[in-house]
Structure 1
Amino acid sequence: MKTIFKCSLALLFFASVSACTPQSSVSNTSEETINSQTSQTETNSSNITPVTEVATVPEVEGFTMDELFDSGGGGCGMSLWKAGSNPREATLFFNGIEANSTLMKINGEFVKFKRTEATGEDFYGQKTSQTFVSENGETEVKVDVKLGEKGEIESVEIPQGTLQIEQAGETVEIPVVGDAGC
């Protein structure tokens, strides 16, 4: 009877130690989950660094010309939209001929940008390669375009280009088309 009591006590002790030992889950490259036990000394609160921010891929959204004008943009300049989409419903980028008139809709909010670099061929206040930084400095946009045919009234087609948006270490690249003019 004493032996059964000792065995029961030992099992109870093992179960309580096991239940009170923090568990962690580690993923390896084969997407297999490996459970491991972490020793009590590793979970000391002075060793824990809280995660304050998780980097997410910037969500670039299209906007209408009405939304652009309501946000203080529009007029002469360059408009770009995703290749194959309707520009009236899905403009992704606008840069006016006036300084600091660049707008995009990122993560549901209109974001203003200022141009920090411009190289290449000049057209309607634009260059074929431009870099912009948001007013808060958190987002960078690189625009590279190829010029197409001149339009009927002070405009030029942009048959091909890319928007590259970098935010919190994450980058999105979008193939675009568009136009520029007045």
Structure 2
Amino acid sequence: MSTNASYHHGNLPRTIISAALDAIAESGPSALSLRDLARQAGVSHAAPAHHFGDRAGLLTAVAVQGFGLLADALAEAQRQTGDFLEVGVAYVDFAVGHPAHFAVMFRPELYRADDPELIAAKARAGESLYRGAAPFAASESGADSQEAALAAWSLVHGFATLWLSGNLPAGLPADPGQAARGLASALFSGRG
């Protein structure tokens, strides 16, 4: 009974998001059910809808949280090292450490892509990524920092996706950050 009382003090949305992340990690975002989450949380089936509206609203909250966490991780890597390679490693580490968030964040058909909080969180994450890409803008190739950031993002996002799906060849280091660092170093040695 005391856990239900805490829901009246603002903990229910956090509890529902946490349960959603567990369900997504287990079965993927397509299998997510508000009724099942309500049952797991021990609340009425209307409680999640009260806070999130519908499944898309809940997945929007998951994506907002994920982009916020990603932005924090990227900014911290940039702040600590100033090395864009480490920002890329932080991206991979985020994806591997938060696979349920990652499974939702880049699937705009699952959530409300026009949500203002989501737009702000995505922009913040993008700024953290793009800020570090400036040293990779190669004047001789005509690449600008946006192109460089897109290339770097494609590398780390693709690597993270392949890692999470188990589609990388054997023989890589067991630590995904170490493996990503080696891959990125091979392409970007001597820059950033």
Query: TM-score, normalization: structure 1?
Result: 0.21
User: Radius of gyration: which is bigger?
Assistant: 1
Structure scoring higher RCO (CA < 8 A, sep ≥ 6) equals: 2
Query: TM-score, normalization: structure 2?
Result: 0.20
Structure with more helix by fraction: 2
